[in-house]
Structure 1
């Protein structure tokens, strides 16, 4: 027994000497970090230290200052530990994050130097590879020679992250400038009135029977985001009859996710329609491809403009539901028929573990043109645990407190993520009133056995808000946000988002939110990963 203890002691002393005296040259070790992309994952690889050590992989929101010192806590989003010299990560992380690795010893951490950082957007070909590949839309509607279609075809393509709208052009011939940002000299028509990744074209004016089309993404100011898609042909038969109907684009319950408490329904607009009627049913419609409302209708909304509709009723009864939409012209006449019916499932048990309560930042949407129907703009999509979305766009802190009993309690969540007060404060409501409402939510949660987990308010950008929405922001918003966030940091359970989203002026940079308020995909991914990194701490 004494010999065993002595052996362990001697081994420990040897390891201490190796790590702290540089007799093995560990001080010069610097992992050589590389990365590849396979399927939907990033794979990080690094050189292995010829010494028993584990490795720490850090995820940073900005480049580190040096390879020999740790970063400030608020620069690090999260970290991973492994005994292997590789790590597989999915694409739920923000594109603009930096990764580095270091060896960790029993006594000295790190052993040697940190690796040079790798930025996710530079993996697989640098700025000309992974980062630009999604910036070229890919046509998803295919038309076959010998099978012509009527002269009002629906054209679709892959969505471009961050695009505010699109420009579609029609060509008499294949373009002379493929993979370019400039229009073709063969252009015969174009439109920028395209705010979703689909377009119901009216080609009745075109005398020919074959036309090419391509599309490019545009930012808020109309500047191209990447290049035009490849040109695709459409084969037309002007004599074919056609019945117009909207194409629905909302897909609920992907990968088993819960339906949001306040669903949003979206579609590709129909040519000739200026408004829409949406109906929700508790059974499939008895009259598919019809023009009359279904007898199974339980809710409807008329005079909807645009291409999405926010359900005003919380879906609190478990069951299977259906929805569809039809268009109307300027005179109030129906344009075509109802769309095919979409389906969604409400299951209150989906919220038994966790729920999220908040305003539009929680409800979803971003980049001005994207609503909560676009799951890429919901932070819940990137969480590492199941959660039901109880957010409602436009809510103030007072609204959230008022609907707590009705909207939260039926789900009986163990944990409730709370993010609220942004709309109140930017509208001039004093911080003290917001704190009172958040206190009420906290106390109600505890009374019902729910753990309230507060999120500090991310900053906003008043100039961007004014540009996007023509709305003024209270001049003292930053001080009021700080007061509310100080209250949140005094709570027993909270996660601090604010520091990760502040620029040098402590405002929200446009790389996270084009409109200065609603976080875009990068922002939603970052938000979720901060929550994931802190989840064990706040739920233990």
Structure 2
């Protein structure tokens, strides 16, 4: 009897503490979703003694959609008692400067004495923004290599436009895997196929070029028509490292009879979690829609710049319906809600003038603390009040309540958007589901 009474008291106490934490701990949310576990990292590149690598192989592994960057270790022997969760002091080579799920490594520089003779071994793991591992290391992979030159003599583009839903961007992003020894990269856009494929000099058909030290580049110009882009590596003195990559095509054709367009800032353009951009389709809500769209969004837009570019960026495509999500950048910069509403009204009127049905999306909250941590940007102290005013206006218009689909948190939870602004995969899927569930009320049958 005493044992039963003791157990009963413990249960009552546990229930009390749970209720107390639920009502008094501001970080506790009922039914708060659990963040997805990171992927198990698995090597996709296999180089055996029978089929060895070149002297500068491309090491690839599956993409971890929660990773901010990756750590890679190379060994000349298999260490004893190697931990799956800790760095080893026995590695021959180590790098953490990897922001995509592939890395070209030049073994002539690192381990020339092993080429054609002995195997090497490598492994990789994914990391978060604070430098903490979010996966175990991949299984140690054997790497046989020869002294033959690599066939990869340029950066390797890894984005394909105009195929699946959500993969047509008016403002393209050029994403690629860096080539070894390049410290910066030159993007070239042409209006016809380059006359000198895989060369080292610019094309005579070049219409735009830019240099970046990142492995993607956001085109600042709207591209209407058919274009080609390619990229080459450069050293610190702007000398070529290898040749231009194969030219990639993309097309934004106003004659394609786009029924639905998307118009907004980076939240609609795509990307998130710091290291993923609009060319990482999993981070775009357009990718999860049940219907094709043309994405007319531009990263960095304010509600004012959306008004200014409407005539040049939206009107040529003549969409019947326009999904509009804009104003977040204005509000976090301290622009009054009334100004943002005026801009949204101007966009609405431009839609009507051009026989376009506007469909507004309510704005999700942001997380100023995470924005400061990731981007080192301050947020207006009155953003929350102004966002609520703007959303109240949007709810009087033809709209889909994307914010309510997130259960309307006051601050964007880190689970929904690590960088505090863009929304990660769970958020983009929720937006898409809200649109899929409600778009039919606006579409004429």
- TM above 0.5, one fold? yes
Is the Cα contact below 8 Å between 1:173 and 1:212 reproduced in 2? yes
Mapped pair 1:151 → 2:59? no
Is the Cα contact below 8 Å between 1:179 and 1:229 reproduced in 2? no
The Cα shift of 1:270 comes to: 2.1
- Pick the aligned partner of 2:224 from 316, 324, 331: 316
1:173 is matched with which residue? 77
Is the Cα contact below 8 Å between 1:258 and 1:350 reproduced in 2? no
Equivalent residue of 1:260, what SS?
A: coil
Is the Cα contact below 8 Å between 1:351 and 1:388 reproduced in 2? no
- Say which structure is richer in strand: 1
Q: Which has the higher contact order (CA 8 A, sep 6+)?
A: 2
2:365 is matched with which residue? 459
The Cα shift of 1:314 comes to: 1.1
1:482-497 equivalences in 2 (<5 Å)? 482-491=388-397, 493-497=398-402
Larger Rg: 1
Number of equivalences:
410
1:132-531 equivalences in 2 (<5 Å)? 135-174=39-78, 180-184=84-88, 186-203=90-107, 204-206=109-111, 207-209=113-115, 210-238=119-147, 240=149, 244-255=153-164, 259-301=168-210, 303-317=211-225, 319=226, 321-350=227-256, 352-491=258-397, 493-501=398-406, 506-531=410-435
Distance in 1 separating the partners of 2:240 and 2:149? 21
Distance in 1 separating the partners of 2:390 and 2:247? 44
Stretch moving more, 443-452 or 168-177: 168-177
The Cα shift of 1:175 comes to: 6.1
Is the Cα contact below 8 Å between 1:350 and 1:388 reproduced in 2? no
List gaps (5 residues or longer) in structure 2.
1-29
Is the Cα contact below 8 Å between 2:173 and 2:216 reproduced in 1? yes
Q: 1:428 to 1:340 in 2, by over 3 A?
A: same
- Normalising by the residue count of structure 2, what TM-score does the alignment of the two structures yield? 0.86
Quote the RMSD (CA, aligned, Å).
2.3
Is the Cα contact below 8 Å between 1:351 and 1:412 reproduced in 2? yes
Is the Cα contact below 8 Å between 1:503 and 1:509 reproduced in 2? no
- Normalising by the residue count of structure 1, what TM-score does the alignment of the two structures yield? 0.72
Distance in 1 separating the partners of 2:139 and 2:193? 38
Distance in 2 separating the partners of 1:262 and 1:240? 36
Deviations along 1:490-520, one digit per CA (max 9) or x if unpaired, are 11x101122333676x000011111000111
The Cα shift of 1:397 comes to: 0.3
Distance in 1 separating the partners of 2:209 and 2:81? 47
List gaps (5 residues or longer) in structure 1.
1-74, 77-95, 98-118, 122-130
The Cα shift of 1:174 comes to: 4.3
Is the Cα contact below 8 Å between 1:502 and 1:509 reproduced in 2? no
The Cα shift of 1:293 comes to: 1.2
The Cα shift of 1:177 comes to: 6.5
